[in-house]
Structure 1
Amino acid sequence: MDEVQRLFTGLTSDKGLSLSAQQLVQYETYFKLLVEWNEKMNLTGITEREQVYVKHFYDSLTLSFYVDLKNTQSLADIGSGAGFPSIPLKIAYPHLKVTIIDSLQKRISFLEHVSSSLGLTNVYCVHGRAEDAGVKPELRDQFDLVTARAVAKLNILNELCLPFTKTGGLFVAMKGSDPTAEIDEAKRSLKELNGKLVTVDSLTLPVEQSERHLIQIQKTAPTPKKYPRKAGVPAKTPIL
């Protein structure tokens, strides 16, 4: 174990998350694939090893500090990009059944390659817009936990993500700066999409101390049939 891995395991163990030698190999393989594929396509602006471990891997795992993932069975990651937060969470919690939805086929190809290379099972990568995927019966109102990390403003995210969440399940929006104004702006979309704000958890990332906020929203009833609207509409004309 080298210095970066010692930092990473120290940070996770402080939060009660113990990682095995095999899991550390998976994170390291993931890092190497991320850097390798990033030379061919734009996956991330962060490629320095310690920063990837802290700003991508640890940042993704912060979700598990506030949500009981041991008793969560299914997770959908909307607009996952390079696989954050779903792949780091899947490595740490192998029992999770993960569905990743992303609109770019190149990213889906990368995520399929990562899943195969890391030996991950029950990871399903879906190419498509969230608005289109959210009306499919096999995906709609199905997931215990739905996540989105740095994808869009909350009033848009509610329409993209709550359709995937099962009644009684959680949607958690992972944000950077203070989301107070976004939450206020999203009140109508929450009501329309049968979501209820549960809590907002705040933390600072170790090492460089940047702000993070996790907005937990519970789904109170099935998604109304008119949502999500057609691809592109939620971003152009958000529910206000």
Structure 2
Amino acid sequence: MIPENRTLLNDAARDLGVTLDDRSTDLFDRLHLLLDEASDGMNLTTIRDEREVVLKHFVDSISCLRGGFLDGELGVLDLGTGAGFPALPLAIVRADLTLTPLDATRRKIDFVDRTARALGLKNVTPLVGRAETIGRQDAHRARYDRVVTRAVASLPVLVELALPLLRVGGLLVAQKGPGVAEELPDAEGAAAQVGGRIHEVQDFRLPVTNDRRHLVVVEKTHETPDRYPRREGVPTKHPLS
């Protein structure tokens, strides 16, 4: 990254309460390079401008650390990680998190895997699959402390996909845009059916861009009934409410 964008990244992260050391900034620099190189031959991201990558991928990913919901040594699944966001930025700034980036597209997970290894991020174990499927597997059902999501699906859908993966007491931390208020009533009903409740909704604006964001935090309060998640595609086509 050019010096101006390195400074931009550090200043924006600091505004979010995250201080980046030189090593972390260098890792973000290498992450940008690897993302840019891979995007020439793969449809990983439509955002190619370096400044936009810093703000809309790196800083936006870091913003899910607001509120301290990811504090501590936690097992975190990134649902619908795509090209590795927010998982890879979180792994860079928080070595105490054990991250499982999940996506149904193998080429994206292959990229995340190669990139994590190239950056020396030993706290990242990518997983290819769908949440409806792994949410029924003993290796993953009720195994995670946190699930994070970024621009994946409507909140009622996310609740059904994420809560079966969480331990009781675990949290879904969903990054949402300005229209989330319309989703909250149905999400509350969905959460009640799959073992949870809306814990908190944080309204804030991203540094520099001033884009409005929300962190919707859903707590798993009791075990998810065996019938959830429903089979592949059903939660999206027929969301709970």
Please indicate the TM-score interval, normalised by the length of the shorter structure.
over 0.9
Cross-structure match for 2:104: 103
Cross-structure match for 2:18: 17
Secondary structure of 1:62's match?
helix
Cross-structure match for 1:197: 198
Name stretches of at least 5 consecutive residues in structure 2 with no aligned partner.
Answer: none
Cross-structure match for 2:44: 43
Letter in 1 for 2:27: Q
Letter in 2 for 1:87: L
Identity %: 36
CA distance in 1, matches of 2:235, 2:18: 37
Deviations, residues 111-161 of structure 1 (Å, cap 9, x unaligned): 001101100003111111110011111111111110111001011111111
CA distance in 2, matches of 1:15, 1:97: 21
What's the CA shift for 1:68?
Answer: 4.1
What RMSD in Å do the two structures reach over aligned CA positions? 1.3
Secondary structure of 1:7's match?
helix
Cross-structure match for 2:75: 74
Comparing 106-115 with 34-43, which one deviates more in the overlay? Answer: 34-43
Cross-structure match for 1:235: 236
What's the CA shift for 1:59?
Answer: 0.6
CA distance in 1, matches of 2:66, 2:87: 14
CA distance in 1, matches of 2:240, 2:54: 36
How many residues are treated as equivalent by the alignment? 240
CA distance in 2, matches of 1:205, 1:70: 20
TM-score by length of 1: 0.96
Answer whether contact 1:129 1:231 (CA < 8 A) is retained.
yes
- Ranges of 4+ aligned residues in structure 1 off by more than 4 Å: none
CA distance in 1, matches of 2:198, 2:186: 13
What's the CA shift for 1:195?
Answer: 1.2
Answer whether contact 2:101 2:124 (CA < 8 A) is retained.
yes
Name stretches of at least 5 consecutive residues in structure 1 with no aligned partner.
Answer: none
